[in-house]
Structure 1
Amino acid sequence: MSLRASLDEAVAWMKAIGLDVGDYRLSLYGLFSAILVALILYVAVKLSLRSIKWLLRRNRQIDDAQRLLTEKLLAIALFSFALLLGIDLLGIDLTTLAVFSGAAGLAIGFGLQKTVGNLIAGIILLMDRSIKPGDVIVVGDSFGWVNKIGVRAVSVITREGKEHLIPNEILMTQEVENWSYSSRTVRVKIAVGVAYDTDLRLAHKLMIEAAKESKRVLAEPAPVCWITGFGDSSVDHEVRFWITDPEGGIGNIKGDVFLRIWDKFHAAGIEIPYPQRDLRVRDWPEEAAKPVKPKG
């Protein structure tokens, strides 16, 4: 028996195994063909996407946001084309499945409403370039830099190394602080109080010097120091300085400047006051004023 005859016999045997659903025949051969066609098309789409990504990454004329947007749009187009091509290759008559496809489409529409919304929101984010990979953003309690913009969510890496997956819709509907949208330069403010008998001009000079000596603080715009008020126990100041690497964290740069101010104040004898309260007794009972005799 030739190979062709064996194949024909195997195909006839697989077609014989199945069941009829109305005018449509579901057979083992149809199932095998569908799986084979889906596998071939899936591999072809994945290889095509890998080649497209390789070409886009070699193109230095587009930025990361444009590259991601192009990749996602091409992926949607290729998968849609593969689906239509697979239906055509398998010879599926969609008119016979009109009722079923309508009900399934309605169910999928309700179930995937959020998914589709997040997909569209992600595409819009990439198109208007309001949020890009590498940006430093604040969304609610999440602070970090954008690792990647996915189909469903944006990956944000925090300073603790945690990865927060924030749905794309949230970034479209809620307030988002983008510290590097138009410029990566960020101003940092710290509050410092000094005693009332302090030489304020000397304190100003020392605080500005402390900020300038920190490695991450920019020389231009230069750090400044202002009096913000006269408190109960201190003259309140605010030191303002600029950094250009917010992804490096804010707490550590504040701590470094605070420590330098502490060292300079300690060397200059400047006191950082803390709240103290004096208790004044207007009337003291005579019984309480008498000395207490020890027992025994």
Structure 2
Amino acid sequence: MDILERLYLVLSTLVMSLITIAPVVVGLCIANWYLLGRKRDLDEESRFPRRIIMLLLSGLGVVIIILGLPVGETNITGLLTLFGLLVTAVIALSSTTFVANAMAGLMLRSVRSFRPGDFVRVGEHFGRVSGRGLFHTEIQIEDRDLTTLPNLYLVSHPITVVRASGTIVSATVSLGYDNPHSAIEPLLVEAAKRAGLQEPFMQITELGDFSVTYRVAGFLPEVKQLLTARSNLRAMMLDTLHDAKVEIVSPTFMYQRQTSGEARSLPPRRPSRRKRTAPAKDSIPEELIFDKAEQAERLEQLGAMREKLAAEAKELEDQLKKADPAEQAQLERKIDRRRKRSEAIAKIIETYQEEENAPSKGGRKRSKAKKAKTRNKQK
């Protein structure tokens, strides 16, 4: 009888434990499916808060399981204390573990200093943000390669973000003291205008031993062409100064010549006198260099557009419940249009994600065509 009683006690304890654990596990599985599983087309930006919610629900589930275990009150208190100590230990060790990157990721999301597609400079790294995760941030650099930076590195170093509304593009050049600055200023300002910059200006930044350093700058409203604008500005500076027969002595040039005093370090004059301007925007290298960052930015915009359509559809549904029969047909058509647009956007997002998983040269060209087609439809 003692054996049967002990067996009954063990089985009853096991059954009670299963009764406590099973609903929690099922609830967590349902929550995971509802938050993450049923919407596989969500990007990383949209998945991030859902993963945080899932993490909090998992912690709450552990607490519920501990409270529901068929053990004494003293044991429950001990288990809760142990769980609290484990959580505290993880947080305490976060300065040297991956948890620190997760906390840094939370901080970056709350600050919202940058988003996918933005130009950023962190330390010696410069590029466009192509992806953000809980533990790391990915940027696409000027060589089209991808650099992964831990979030802890980002929060411990100053981040320079190029504003999407426009930025200042500048370049420096050193010229000899024999050139009056009053004659140099209009030339450099003209070079900035030829490069397509707005509101150009010139500054004298240094009076060196052998040369004067000038800085010319202007406003660039389209920051996606930042690299091209910098190159165009330097090219226009060369052309403008050479056309005016101004000798460039960057970075230093000592006047110790073995030639006659009339000789100057100038390139041969071009046969054509037609003024050179910035190249056409049809072939922009940034489209090739930052293709993944462009796609990440586009996905974020499409996701925001889809959320806006869903919110509008929900608002119209609320109005439909209170509307008169005469207005219901019109509201239903509006709801249907928004749902169709949302479905079309979901298909575009899915197509972009498939292309990202299987990149190719032809796929990149097709992606550009689809982007252009999508823009035309939206217009």
- The TM-score normalised by the length of structure 2 is 0.48
Residue aligning to 2:188: 207
Work out whether residues 48 and 133 of structure 2, in 8 Å CA contact, stay in contact via their aligned partners in 1.
no
**Residue pair 1:145, 1:247 contacting (<8 A) in 2 also:** no
Among 230, 246, 266, the alignment partner of 2:242 is: 266
Q: What does the per-residue CA deviation read over 1:82-126, in whole Å, with 9 as the maximum and x for residues that have no partner? A: 6567x58x9686948957x94993876666663333323322321
Note the C-alpha offset of 1:38.
10
Deviates more, 1:157-166 or 1:104-113: 104-113
> Which residue number corresponds to residue 276 of structure 1?
254
139, 149, 171: which one pairs with 1:190?
171
Contact 1:126–1:132 (CA<8 Å) still a contact in 2?
Answer: no
1:49 aligns with 2:21: no
Q: Say which SS state the counterpart of residue 208 (structure 1) adopts.
A: helix
CA-CA distance at 1:142 after TM superposition? 1.6
**Shift, 1:207, TM fit:** 1.6
Instruction: Compute the displacement of 1:152 (Å).
Output: 1.5
- C-alpha spacing 1:126/1:265, structure 2 compared with 1 (3 Å): same
CA RMSD in angstroms comes to 4.7
Report what 2:101 is aligned to: 118
Question: Which 10-residue stretch deviates more, 103-112 or 228-237?
Answer: 103-112
Match of 1:76 in 2: 55
**What SS does the aligned partner of 1:155 have?**
strand
Counterpart residue number, 1:168? 151
The answer to which structure has the higher helix fraction is 2
User: Letter of the aligned partner of 2:153 in structure 1?
Assistant: I
Counterpart CA distance in 2 for 1:120 and 1:24 is: 42
Note the alpha carbon deviations across 1:178-200, whole angstroms, 9 max, x for none: 333xx643223311223444464
Identify if the C-alpha distance between structure 1 residues 130 and 200 changes in structure 2 by more than 3 Å, giving closer, same or farther. Answer: closer
User: CA 1:169–1:203 in structure 2 vs 1: closer, same or farther (change >3 Å)?
Assistant: same
Q: How many residues of Structure 1 are paired with residues of Structure 2 in the alignment? A: 242
Contact 1:118 1:151 in 2 (8 A): yes
Q: Percent identity?
A: 20
- Alpha-carbon distance in 1 for matches of 2:116, 2:143: 18
Q: 2:209 aligns with which of 232, 249, 261?
A: 232
Residue 255 (structure 1) aligned with residue 255 (structure 2): no
> Which has a greater percent of strand?
1
Larger Rg: 1
Stretches of structure 1 lacking an aligned partner (at least 5 in a row): 1-22, 26-35, 58-63, 280-296
Secondary structure in structure 2 of the residue aligned to 1:272: coil
Distance 1:115 1:196, change over 3 A: closer
Instruction: Give me the whole-angstrom Cα distance separating, in 1, the residues matched to 2:71 and 2:152.
Output: 37
| Per-residue CA distance 1:40-74 (angstroms, 9 max, x = gap) | 777644421236867988xxxxxx97x56633432
**Which residue of the partner structure matches residue 144 of structure 1?**
127
CA apart distance, 1:78: 4.1
Shift of 1:270: 1.9
Give the distance between the partners of 1:139 and 1:170, measured in 2 at CA. 9
By relative contact order (CA 8 Å, sep 6+), the higher-ranking structure is 2
- Gaps spanning 5+ residues in structure 2: where? 1-8, 12-21, 258-379
